[in-house]
Amino acid sequence: MEEGREHIEDLMRRYGYEEREAEVAYHLGRAQDLLAEMHEESFSLSETVALPGLRASMYRMAFVEPHFRALFALLDRRVLERNYPER
């Protein structure tokens, strides 16, 4: 977890996250990467899929990325509301 701790502290410095927010951002990033890897593997193992790399990229952009962008946006909104309560 030491590697993760350094990354969490870096997120706190760069984005103004509190510790729990930085932990959430770290784990969301890891989950996003792992989920993308799983889908890339499943497409590359499929013998019926032409151009598995392209198909995996399209799937990631259409079905994975939007959900993670929304979750990261929730975190960012929380930080902005805390730092700029008057908006």
- How does pLDDT run across 3-19, given as a tens digit for each residue? 789 999 999 999 999 99
Give me the number of domains the chain comprises.
Answer: 1
Query: Global pTM?
Result: 0.81
Could you list the residue range(s) of the whole structural domain that residue 67 is in?
2-83
> pLDDT tens digits for 34-63?
988 888 787 777 666 666 677 778 888 898
Q: Residue 23: its pLDDT value, please?
A: 96
Q: Residue 28: its pLDDT value, please?
A: 97
Q: Specify the 3-state DSSP secondary structure of 84.
A: coil
Neighbour count for residue 23 (Cβ, 10 Å):
17
Helices 19-45 and 2-15, interaxial angle, to 10°? 120
